[in-house]
Structure 1
Amino acid sequence: MKKFVNLLILLTATSLFAFTAFTISSLNEEGNTPVLEPLPIHPRVEQAVSFFLPKMHYKKQQLDDELSSQMFDFYLEMLDPQKLYFLKSDIDEFEKYRYSLDEALRNGDLRAAYAIFNRFMTRYAERLNFVKKRLQTPFNFTGEDSFQVDREEAPWPETKAELDTLWSKRLKNEALSLKIAGKDWEAIKERLEKRYKNMEKQMLKTESEDVFQIYMNAFASTFDPHTNYMSPKTSEDFKIRMSLSLEGIGASLRTEDDYTTVVEIIPGGPADRSGLLHPNDRIIAVGQGEDGELVDVVGWRIDDVVQLIRGKKGTKVRLQIIPADAALSDPPVTITLTRDKVKLSDRAAKSDTLEVEHNGKKYRFGVINIPDFYLDYEAMRQGKEDYASTTRDVERLLKELQGADVDGVIIDLRRNGGGFLSEAVDLTGLFIEKGPVVQVRDSRNRVKIERDFDSKVVYTGPLAVLVDHFSASASEIFAAAIQDYRRGIIVGTQTFGKGTVQNIVPISRFFPHSKEKLGQVKFTIAKFYRINGGSTQMVGVLPDIRIPTRYDVMEIGERSEKNALPWDEIDPANYEPVDPLLDKILPRLNKLHQARVQNSEEYRLILKEIENLRKEREKNVVSLNIEKRKKEREERDALKKELKKVHKKSGHDDKEDFYIVETAHVLSDYIQIH
């Protein structure tokens, strides 16, 4: 499950587990795992949060049996998302709690939470003991065995023997990846033994606050994916990291199914500048410098992974990753990043020009890349005239491009995860006369319209906005407004669909006289709506001209999150389209686009790569035969090489990818038709 708390920093992390004082009453029967109990403060915090959230959250959800049942499922999924630890008999035994968790929340009763977690710890220890024994015998990679990669929808295993079989295949798959990477059996065995020994160490670090945080996040998940409980330690980390003062690689991370997964690449950071790390990539090992030992971090606490990755500015860190777009059977790759601080100047919008020949005529387009919607709020508050903001920078770039006599402008919002709402509103104002840009409805159903009050229009020429699955929040607000005003053409893929607003409340508010360190709750308080009345939640922005990418087959965006708030609509705002004829032109632009890309060798190869990835993910099974795996890898590598060769033959440089160039051709069609 892709939940837990997402904390944004230079190198941010979300913690499945956190560190505070804990209570161990005893060891389990095997004597190798702690039996955890709640801290004295936990029942009171449980009651406070369960009283507060139903009343203040946008959803206004009742504390009832339906919530209890959903919370029960979320808790089990957070503990064992791939159904690799619990037995069906455990689940059957836990069913007695399904409809009583709502009452337990009201009463500050945590017996069910800790009973389920302590059983999980026992099962976890059993699996680690099995791993130790299984790794004493080498694997045979010549048979017809296969491994089911995603078991989220699979039934719970009936017996320990069934679990042994599942785990044997899991280990064999991990060993085969190392074998294909050139490791012999002794090296494979050593790597996997270290991995699972580290997992055992991490397990023994588990504390009472860890259990409470997971359990309360299971409750928070019943509201929506962006509502979280943060333990005192997680809260402290959040406050420190939001200052953007730490040095690292510039990525937002979380724990997911034993892996450290990249949530977001911070604009202007080392990872962003390198182009080597992307959202949904999984980090499996970390090494210091050019040749330091790669330390396996599968199963590690996110806190410890962060400590390995973070370091002094100018030093290098090596990450062994499984790329998000890798095939299920692909081996990991190793990348090197130089640690640095994220500078505001590195996050700034930048422009370039692109020349294309279209139907025998040459066109020059300005391309403005906007990494995020930034604002140096403190400098603005102090009255400094040269404070940085997205709108101010883009206004300057637009004037420079118009001075260069461009035929049109492309705003590139790919991978732009959002930022300041005010910047999205003001940026829209550069392209339209004054008017509404976005509507915001709060938990009391009050609607506020955010407007551009400046009638000045900086640029009136042909405009396209390029978006992708990672364009979110403020990016979607800007793209939606441009689309609703018929001011420009939206090109690319469906956007992320993040149409909600969150607030953070410290739990100390409910305990004004307490001297204990307490956490905080992040919860959804409002929802964004387009000026046409439709929400950007879940649906995001649908492009006028759709160009598929390999991320189409991946679980990305609000649509992939469980229990996300639904799409809905409110009354539209009053606004006048800038180009009412655009609706009539778009069908023809789409036909011209389709005719053009059908004759593109590069587009054909992109579609082939997408289809291959889609089929493999739908199959959800990888072969454990080494020859089959090598052959599959060779075929994928050959396709990637062919794509690079075709791209190079087209005469485009690295900045002129297929999507930018095709957007320029779409704008060329618009100019010739309009």
Structure 2
Amino acid sequence: MKVKAPVVLLLAAALATPLALMARSDNKAAALPTGPTADQSTAGKLVYGVLSDSRYAYRPKKLDDALSQDIFRRYLKALDNNKQFFTSEDIAKFEPLKTQMDDAIISGTLTPAYDIFAVYRQRVQQRVDYARGLLKQNFDFTAEDRWDYDREDLPWASASDLDAIWKKSVKNDWLRLKLAGKQPDDIRKTLDKRYATLLRSANELESEDVFQIFLNAYTNSIDPHTDYFTPRTAENFNQQMSLSLEGIGAVLQRQEDYVAIREVVPGGPADLSGKIKPGARIIGVGQGASGEMTDVIGWRTDDVVEQIRGKKGTQVRLEYLPASGGVDGPSAQVTITRDRVKLEEQAAKSETITLPAQGGQPERKVGVIKLPAFYQDFEGRRRNPNDFTSATRDVSRLLKKFESEKVDGVVMDLRNNGGGSLDEAVELTGLFIDQGPVVQVRESGGRVSVSADRTAGTAYDGPLAVLINRGSASASEIFAGAIQDYGRGLVIGETSFGKGTVQNLLDLDRWPANETKRFGQLKLTIAQFFRVSGSSTQHKGVVPDIAFPASLDATEYGENTYDNALPWTKIAEVPHMQYGNFAPLLPQLQKRHNARAQTDKEFQWWYQDVNEVRTEAAKKYISLNEGERRAERERQETKRKQRQEERRALGLPLDPLADSLADDGLGASERDIVKDAEREKLAEDRPDPLLRESAAILADAVAVLGEDRKLSAQVLPASSSAAHWTD
């Protein structure tokens, strides 16, 4: 096997769970998948060949009975992570299959996986029937009862025990809606639809879905970041990385029996048509100007998407129910010419924060760049290396804008940035350093190579801070680690995710040279990366210079929570320039930060909320006593109102979501799609005390270094841009 033009990725992402793969919504179950197709069997064998070969996999594992048992465990977890469907009796019957998973993959039959899935679907049917039956009765919420909702680490339950568990789950669903002001008849109707949807989600998983779930139980047994993508999943993944697609420019979402328009991409073909609006329900799709209109009511979301997407310049006709008319209103039609659509919402964005003059210091203006991922249009770069979508190109453009605005410093906000392209991590670092190594990459054979910025000059050489949290992973950690190792800027926030491995996207259709997509792609771990200091981010992550309180429990989220993650290790340092050493400055910055945090209302509120959420999450149960729940709901409502009043009194920006944060008891697909999308947009404008505090810390650094020339000489002795850090 020969791998051509590898796409090197650094990601901390998870595939959809089975119940997230929403499909057709009629009440009839799809044909039960009983086995893989010929192409799927071949794909499984190809994946086996790659993952057992040290030429490709960083940590290959022999597919034997020992690994088979791990695959078995992960497959059950993928289907029923919270142990709410399978019974302990089922698990006992499955025991003989533990050592058959390896043989199934090697032979391409996969019979054990489909046998287990058949039982899973039966159990979902039984549980949903039981839950819907409970809705005929009334519930007593006066007892001191509770629902233990987190069952992941608990033993598998018997059928009778599951009855009791599900009864409490239904009681909680009912109580949430009751507390939100719903009447019994409305509650019954809402929950009956909800449980029917749950059943349909399982009933309509197809052979392709079951195959992907099972094969990922195998790939994830190799390491946490090796994944199999079906051809459809691979296409979606590549579009996310390129931030572009060919279609009409609309975000779709399931709403009961319909696929509806959640958002229209500004400037896209749907938007330019002027006809189709958010909330419209799609009921038919026709190809071209006169192709037959296909009824898509009850279809899977991804099946509808597949019908609507198409080559640039081609036409698609949509029949839809406008939001204003409801499901019983008249339908309308629109013909849209497909085009290439850029997903601007997921691209780098900028804003400026103005810090008022105080303590003898002048007003400061700090530029912020929010980067959600290290994206790159790989195919676009191959076609035209001078014009393609790229995180680095977008950030460079924003830095030029900041230069014209004469900002006093820049904060790179990488919170919840799960990674992306390795090339982008290196090139983005190059915007802030003048040539030099960025990351070391060690392959399975032990060979270490160095990826470096080889472009002379910088796009920005002034004061810099990098804001990270537990959700910052992979490429984010390479960038933050390099900035820290070079002493180029301050790293602020929480210790990052701790993912230090490199993945390659391997097209399984390369070897048979298929003209059509048949076998999918494999994202496999091919190397481990190390900082220029020689330290790995694996497990340990990037530790900030100035730390904020942890918003997530590190024992619940991060690389260290995976039972088969690679261990931390270290290699030799590579020579690199030292722009500065912030260690002498940190005590003063920490002191100023602490003083501000103690008086900053928004920061204190955030800290209180984080502690409350973590305390509640640690309990892993919730009370089913109406009095307790109502008192807690009222306490939260009073807290929100008081905070809004304090904001007004202090002249702080109001929280745009303060009046809509109370639990409405509904799921995403049950809410008004237009209002829910608007609420999501408003969330972007909520006060962000951590971002503002990061800007203040950076401004502190500029001020202190400007006031103390002796300290400045210690902190920035070798930096050619030292003058830019001082007044």
Q: What TM-score comes out, normalization by structure 2 length?
A: 0.71
Instruction: Tell me how far apart the structure 2 counterparts of residues 289 and 604 of structure 1 sit (CA, whole Å).
Output: 37
Q: Distance in 2 between matches of 1:601 and 1:53?
A: 52
Secondary structure of the structure 2 residue equivalent to 1:448: strand
Amino acid at match of 1:16: P
Question: Which residue of structure 2 aligns with residue 369 of structure 1?
Answer: 369
- How many angstroms does 1:389 deviate by? 5.1
Describe the superposition over 1:94-116 as per-residue Cα deviations: whole angstroms up to 9, x where unpaired. Answer: 22233443344334453322332
Matched, 1:616 2:616: yes
Provide Cα deviations, 1:405-435, integer angstroms capped at 9, x if missing partner: 5443323333444444334333323333321
Q: Is contact 1:250–1:342 with CA below 8 Å preserved after alignment?
A: no
Does the 8 A contact of 2:480 with 2:491 survive in 1? yes
Tell me the SS of whatever aligns to 1:583: coil
2:45 match: 47
Does residue 138 (structure 1) correspond to residue 131 (structure 2)? The answer is no
Q: Deviations over 1:556-597 (max 9, x none)?
A: 4444555344433322211131113x1222233223322331
Q: Which amino acid aligns with 1:48?
A: L
Residue identity matched to 1:443? S
Give the deviation of 1:127 after TM superposition: 1.4
Letter in 2 for 1:670: A
CA distance in 1, matches of 2:379, 2:97: 50
**Mean CA deviation greater in 473-482 or 230-239:** 230-239
Q: In the alignment, residue 593 of structure 2 is paired with which amino acid?
A: H
Task: Tell me which residue corresponds to 1:219.
Answer: 218
2:696 to 660, 665, 671: 665
Tell me what 1:229 maps to.
Answer: 228
Partner of residue 589, structure 2: 589
Question: Taking structure 1 as reference, are residues 15 and 350 closer, same or farther at Cα in structure 2, changes over 3 Å only?
Answer: same
**Whole-angstrom distance in 2 between the partners of 1:38 and 1:432:** 51
1:634 aligned to 2:665?
A: no
Aligned to 1:183: 182
Change in 2 beyond 3 A, CA 1:248/1:226:
farther
Structure 1 residue 467 and structure 2 residue 498: aligned?
A: no
Tell me the secondary structure at the aligned position of residue 409 of structure 1.
strand
Whether the 8 Å CA contact 2:494–2:550 is kept in 1: the answer is yes
State the match for 2:568 in structure 1.
567
Match of 1:164 in 2: 163
Change (3 A) 1:269 1:632: farther
Partner of 1:198: 197
Q: Percent identity?
A: 39
Deviation by residue 1:417-466 (Cα, 9 ceiling, x = unmatched):
44443343333233333211112223333322111223424544332222
After superposition, residues 269-284 of structure 1 pair within 5 angstroms as none
Measure, in 1, the Cα distance between the counterparts of 2:405 and 2:200: 61
- Tell me what 2:75 maps to: 75
Q: Secondary structure, in 3 states, of the residue corresponding to 1:611? A: helix
Q: Indicate the larger mover: 373-382 or 352-361.
A: 373-382
1:384 Cα deviation after fit: 8.5
Partner AA of 1:130 in structure 2: Y
CA deviations over 1:43-86 (Å, ceiling 9, x no partner): 55433322321212222222233312211110111121111122
CA drift of 1:396 comes to 5.4
1:30-41 alignment, distance < 5 Å: 34=32, 36-39=34-37
Is 1:451 matched with 2:449? no
Closer/same/farther in 2, CA of residues 42 and 386 from structure 1, 3 Å limit: closer
Partners of 1:315 and 1:215 lie apart in 2 by 38
| Alpha-carbon separation, structure 1, partners of 2:527 and 2:83 | 35
User: 2:321 aligned with 1:350, yes or no?
Assistant: no
Is the 2:30–2:206 Cα contact (8 Å) retained in structure 1? Answer: no
Cα distance between partner residues in 2 of 1:391 and 1:239: 18
Displacement of 1:219 in angstroms is: 0.8
Change (3 A) 1:16 1:249: farther
Q: CA deviation at 1:125?
A: 2.3
Provide the rounded CA distance (Å) in 2 between the counterparts of 1:651 and 1:623.
Answer: 38
- Distance, in Å, in 2 between the alignment partners of 1:250 and 1:416 is 21
Alignment of 1:352-501 (within 5 A): 352-371=352-371, 372-373=373-374, 390-391=391-392, 394-395=395-396, 397-398=398-399, 401-402=402-403, 404-501=405-502
Equivalents in 1 of 2:421, 2:196: separation in Å?
A: 44
Is the 1:68–1:98 contact (alpha carbons within 8 Å) kept by the matching residues of 2?
Answer: yes
Moved more, 43-52 or 146-155: 43-52
Partner of 2:718: none
Aligned to 2:625: 625
Amino acid at match of 1:501: V
Equivalent residue, structure 1, for 2:681: none
User: How far apart in 1 are the matches of 2:232 and 2:387?
Assistant: 37
**One-letter code of the match for 1:36?**
T
Unaligned runs of 5+ in 1: 1-6, 20-30, 255-265, 271-287, 294-299, 319-339
Do 1:36 and 1:207's aligned partners in 2 also have CA atoms closer than 8 Å? no
Hey, what's the Cα distance between the residues in 2 that align with 1:32 and 1:672? 66
Corresponding residue for residue 285 of structure 1: none
Q: Equivalents in 2 of 1:409, 1:631: separation in Å?
A: 44
Q: Distance in 2 between matches of 1:183 and 1:669?
A: 51
1-structure distance, mates of 2:165, 2:390: 53
Q: C-alpha separation between the residues in 2 aligned to 1:307 and 1:377? A: 22
Q: Match for residue 97 of structure 1?
A: 97
State the alpha-carbon separation in 1 of the partners of residues 30 and 516 from structure 2: 34
The answer as to 2:606 corresponding to 1:606 is yes
CA offset at residue 650 of structure 1? 5.0
Query: Paired residues, what number?
Result: 596
Whole-angstrom distance in 1 between the partners of 2:575 and 2:407: 32
Per-residue deviation, 1:498: 3.9
Residue 185 of structure 1: how far off its partner (Å): 1.4
CA drift at 1:481: 0.9
Cα 1:632–1:114, aligned 2, differ >3 Å: closer, same or farther? same
What CA distance in whole angstroms lies between the structure 2 residues aligned with 1:13 and 1:66? 24
Q: Which moved more, 1:396-405 or 1:49-58?
A: 396-405
Using the size of structure 1 for normalisation, the TM-score is 0.76
**Structure 2 Cα separation of the partners of residues 233 and 64 of structure 1:** 30
d(CA) in 2 for partners of 1:341 and 1:143? 55
